[in-house]
Amino acid sequence: MSFHAIEQAPPRLNRSELAVPGSQPQMFEKAADSDVDVIFLDLEDAVAPDEKAQARKNIIKALNEIDWGKKSMSVRINGLDTPYMYRDVVDVVEQAGERLDLIMVPKTGTAADVYAVDMLVTQIEDAKGYKKRIGFEHIIETALGMQNVHEIAAASKRNESLHFGVADYSASMHARTTVIGGVNKLYSVLTDADESGNRDVHWGDMWHYAIARMVVACRANGLRPIDGPYGDFQDPEGYRAAAFRAAVLGCEGKWAIHPSQIALANEVMSPSDDEVTRAKRILEAMAEAEAAGKGAVSLDGRLIDYASIRQAEVLVEKAKQIAA
Ligand code: GLV
Ligand code: MG
């Protein structure tokens, strides 16, 4: 164990995160009534350039007037390379900063990008006398952002989560796909022929390295890793498979680009009853082992030890957070 203790971001349920275009205010009430954990009101890629100013106004009004309940509220600002970003931050934080929990920064590329937004937000918060600090979510969706992901993760005390933005990431990498998320049959392994000459195709997960790399940066800095969009909202099984792959690698949430994906994300990203029961049994078995002076024992024919306690505690803690 390193002597360096990892400070954890404020605990926040983030199993599902719904994208809602700021230019579509008729969608806001439905989003507020949904079971989603986090909503991000979008000023970036779902909003056309000549609608940016009106979308900002819609978002400010909605943050102040709609009852969003216990949901965490975020706004996705425009990128630092656009002429919209400064006004997104100034207007939204000045006029609706009290109900805003998070700012989502797209295409974060360097630690200096994080510093720039932090400086601006800090000035506005201090000038307005806000007590609460707004947290940051960064989308890792460019080659530069992925290269610098560790520095980005460590760049501000406001950082809470990193998100894998698969659509822009594919574009940035010149990856040969035009779909948003999911797998590509060209990324496959062909087995050798069996006795009858048949060969099998095993599809691979082309996003494995990117997501796993982002998860490392998150966990080494106490942040939540969140998987991004799955564009085909008429394919719940494909969504579920993508979400499970991300969850198995350590992600604790996934975007919903359509309300029908919220329940899927909540289901996949919540530990199942069986998992929680087994985790509790591990904790009981280890407590008994410890009382008997043993460090490792067997449970259901498998070895468990002190590392099993830490794995089980993560699951039990998550179940408590969901039940709260
Ligand atoms: C999200 O912003 C993405 O590009 O996938
Ligand atoms: Mg993007």
Tell me the pLDDT band of 1, cut-offs 50, 70 and 90: low
Residue ranges for the known binding site for substrate are 76, 141
Residue carrying the six token digits 């937000």: 121
**Is residue 139 lining ligand 1, measured as CB closer than 6 Å?**
yes
Residue ranges for the known binding site for Mg(2+) are 141, 168
**Is residue 229 lining ligand 1, measured as CB closer than 6 Å?**
yes
- Is residue 3 scored above 90 in pLDDT? no
Contact between 162 and 225 (Cβ < 8 Å): yes
Q: What is the pLDDT of residue 295?
A: 84
Alpha carbon of 292 to those of 43, 278, 286, 287: distances in Å? 59, 21, 10, 9
**Is residue 228 lining ligand 1, measured as CB closer than 6 Å?**
yes
Ramachandran bin of 301, using left for φ above 0, alpha for ψ from -120 to 50, beta for the remaining angles: left
- Tell me the mean pLDDT in the region 181-202: 94
> What single-letter amino acid sits at 122?
T
pLDDT tens-digit readout, 233-274: 999 999 999 999 999 999 999 999 999 999 999 999 999 999
Tell me the pLDDT band of 144, cut-offs 50, 70 and 90: very high
Tell me the pLDDT band of 178, cut-offs 50, 70 and 90: confident
Q: How far apart are CA 175 and CA 188, in angstroms?
A: 15
**Is residue 167 lining ligand 1, measured as CB closer than 6 Å?**
yes
Contact between 76 and 38 (Cβ < 8 Å): no
The per-residue pLDDT of the chain, averaged, comes to 96
Structure tokens at 273: 């009853």
Q: Whose CA is nearest to atom 3 of ligand 1?
A: 165
pLDDT tens-digit readout, 30-75: 999 999 999 999 999 999 999 999 999 999 999 999 999 999 999 9
The ipTM (two decimal places) reads: 0.99
Pocket test for ligand 1, best of 44, 76, 164, 180 (most atoms within 8 A of CB): 180
pLDDT tens-digit readout, 269-317: 999 999 999 999 999 999 999 899 988 889 998 999 989 999 999 899 9
Which ligand 1 atom lies nearest to the CA of residue 141? 4
CA of 54 to the centre of ligand 1 (A): 22
- Tell me the mean pLDDT in the region 214-240: 97
Q: How far apart are CA 100 and CA 94, in angstroms?
A: 10
**Is residue 166 lining ligand 1, measured as CB closer than 6 Å?**
yes
Alpha carbon of 136 to those of 139, 165, 292: distances in Å? 10, 15, 46
Q: What is the pLDDT of residue 50?
A: 98
Task: Looking at the CA of 163, name the nearest ligand.
Answer: 1
**Is residue 25 lining ligand 1, measured as CB closer than 6 Å?**
no
Task: Looking at the CA of 210, name the nearest ligand.
Answer: 1
Angle 95-101-103 from CA coordinates, rounded to 5° = 80
Pocket test for ligand 1, best of 47, 164, 169 (most atoms within 8 A of CB): 169
Which ligand 1 atom lies nearest to the CA of residue 139? 2
Ramachandran bin of 208, using left for φ above 0, alpha for ψ from -120 to 50, beta for the remaining angles: alpha
**Is residue 251 lining ligand 1, measured as CB closer than 6 Å?**
no
Which ligand 1 atom lies nearest to the CA of residue 180? 5
- Tell me the mean pLDDT in the region 6-14: 92
